[in-house]
Amino acid sequence: MSRQAGRGTESKKMNSELFTLTYGALVTQLCKDYENDEDVNKQLDKILFLVCSHRGYNIGVRLIEDFLARSNVGRCHDFRETADVIAKIAFKMYLGITPSITNWSPGGDEFSLILENNPLVDFVELPDNHSSLIYSNLLCGVLRGALEMVQMAVDVKFVQDTLKGDSVTEIRMKFIRRIEDNLPAGEE
Amino acid sequence: QAGGAMAIFSVYVVNKAGGLIYQLDHYAPRSDTEKTFSFPLDLVLRPRDERVVVAFGQRDGIRVGHAVLAINGAEVNGRLTADGKDVLEFLSNPANYPVSIRFGRHRLSSNEKLMLASMFHSLFAIGSQLSPEVGSSGIEMLETDTFKLHCFQTLTGIKFVVLADPRQAGIDALLRKIYEIYSDFALKNPFYSLEMPIRCELFDQNLKLALEVAEKAGPFGPGS
């Protein structure tokens, strides 16, 4: 995980292996705790997503503040802008990679992120008995949780995964609606 | 601080529901005056909002609007003395003279701060509603002759409010800095619950440090 602008003047970088290994330990522990892969997928998604209550430790809703505080990114008024910010700034900042943006739907409300070198799967070989495990599902949670905090309801899911023999890893993002009821004053 | 020196008076953090989740009084201009009086008191005192204030008679640094803060060195508790007697009654009894009274600007109670924060929250919203232009923000700056209130609202709806000397520079950078400190020392603390009051020692320390730096140096450098 590298982060460009750290606190103070120096930037604070972290060896990504510590992160990927910690994440691996988390996934294997969840696989032990839950009977089927579906539940593991759900938990991974939830860790980074805002669950109804505003309590608890969900990283996505906290990460968005960190991102906004450091990046000076303004409000996006178009889903294309959002795609750019996610791929070129946010992924770069937190994972050190820049996914490419492709497969725009004609309506401009859906696109795909193609991930090369997903650091989460650096050392992973998915065993046969975990065929429905979406190993990196955590990323869906973070994207959904973070975007919800800036008033965008978005559907996020893995549609291709190199761990499952696909040629690329593809995250599909679909804009559902603007969340008007938690829009801060002066932001409409 | 001597005249001409800059000051930041206080910081408020308001959540998106208008709840005050953090407040810090950093620097209060000293206006307290202590004086020993003999009977009868040559000031007119009146009860007002759970306080006793000077209604008339202004001298020796004591000003109309100042509240009775302490009697004979003991802090008063609203309209009651430290040992539970009514302040006005106590002061109307010649047997209690000579008496030493400390006057000053009354301190806002936590309840009052809570109320003011949620009032500002609404005022901010009214500001953007009243605007003749579309897409107007809420109130970003509110100016008086003794202080300026600066407000920065994040995209997620949290407001950081700083009250400072009107001449204090570099407040925009300070507000961004406070946002960073919030995202680091409140949000990354696994034991901090979102939307709840911030009671984090590290947040306090870093915020105070940032305020001192801002007062000394004025503007921050980029990315600091």
Does residue A111 surpass a pLDDT of 90? Answer: yes
The residue among A25 and A13 whose pLDDT is bigger is A25
Going from N- to C-terminal start, the domains of chain A cover: 2-178
> Which tokens belong to B3?
């005249």
CA B98 vs CA A100, B44, B76, B83, B220: distances in Å: 81, 17, 17, 18, 52
Which residue in B156, B159, B196 has the most chain A C-beta atoms within 10 A of its own C-beta, making it the best mutation to test that interface?
Answer: B156
Residues of A with CB under 8 A from a CB of B: 5, 7-9, 54-57, 61-62, 64-66, 68-70, 72, 74-75, 149-150, 182-188
The residue among B27 and B93 whose pLDDT is bigger is B93
Angle at CA of residue B90, ends B31 and B51, nearest 5°:
45
Fold designation for A2-178: Muramoyl-pentapeptide Carboxypeptidase; domain 2 (3.30.1380)
3-state class (DSSP) for residue A48 = coil
The residue among A135 and B223 whose pLDDT is bigger is A135
pLDDT band at A15 (very low <50, low <70, confident <90, very high): confident
- Which residue of chain A comes nearest to B177, CA vs CA? A69
pTM: 0.83
- Report the distance separating Cα B65 and Cα B53, nearest Å: 6
Q: Could you report the per-residue pLDDT of B2-53, keeping only the tens digit for each? A: 344 579 999 999 999 999 999 999 987 777 899 999 989 989 999 988 899 9
Q: Could you report the per-residue pLDDT of A64-91, keeping only the tens digit for each? A: 999 999 998 988 889 999 999 999 999 9
State whether A56 and B196 contact (CB < 8 Å): no
Mean pLDDT of chain A: 84
**Res B5: pLDDT:** 56
- Report the distance separating Cα B65 and Cα B105, nearest Å: 7
Q: Could you report the per-residue pLDDT of B162-182, keeping only the tens digit for each? A: 999 999 989 999 999 999 999
* Cβ contacts of B138 on chain A, cutoff 8 Å: 185-186
Q: Is A18 exposed, middle or buried (0-12, 13-18, 19+ CB in 10 A)?
A: exposed
